[in-house]
Amino acid sequence: MTLLQVMAADNAADVRVRTTDDAVIGAELAEHGITFGRWPVVDGAAAVDSDALLAHYADAVAELNASGRYQHIDIARIHPDDTNPEWPEVAAGARAKFLNEHRHAEDEVRFFAAGRGCFYLHLGHEVLAVVCEGGDLLSVPAGTLHWFDMGTRPDFIAIRFFEEEDGWVGDFTGDRISEAFPTLDELLTAS
């Protein structure tokens, strides 16, 4: 389920909006210049290799990139591997990379082909937690303060769009704000 939870930046318990309604989510995000959309999902996307997945979404990708702005389009995948005894450390390391507040010099554009992850957008006096799932497209404007949580058991496939090859590199603020907000797992279990 796609979820938007809007909280006061100085008090995560002050929940101003909590909704799974795509129209409400899209409207709320649009007020902040954030694009939210939906594309159809591929059944069994985890079993589809990256080249075939990109080929499947070629028309949607071409429409999104009609201006030619995005020079680097790829797929990020992370799936649980219970056969690997090092998986818990691998997952924790992957998750920890983006749990602290940062910004990027270019827009952060992601389409979730499968799985889920949560973008936390620090917009002035509010933090918007956007839980994205398979089918969700999110475009966060350059310079937006945010962090990302893939959960304690990361499992997602996302098509990423970059203007520059190093567009994913974050400028970390050093602010520990993320520690005061519910994690992805906590958001999903809240009533």
Q: What is the pLDDT of residues 121-147, one digit of tens each?
A: 999 999 999 999 999 999 999 999 999
- Across the chain, mean pLDDT equals 95
| Number of other residues whose CB lies within 10 A of the CB of residue 137 | 19
Domains in the chain (CATH in brackets) are: 3-189 (2.60.120.10)
DSSP-derived pairing of the beta strands 108-123 and 11-19: unpaired
Check pLDDT > 80 for residue 166.
no
The per-residue pLDDT for 107 is 94
The per-residue pLDDT for 165 is 78
How much of the chain exceeds pLDDT 90, in percent?
Answer: 90
The per-residue pLDDT for 9 is 98
Q: What is the pLDDT of residues 39-61, one digit of tens each?
A: 999 999 999 999 999 999 999 99
- Average pLDDT of the residues in 150-161: 96
Q: What is the pLDDT of residues 65-86, one digit of tens each?
A: 999 999 999 999 999 998 999 9
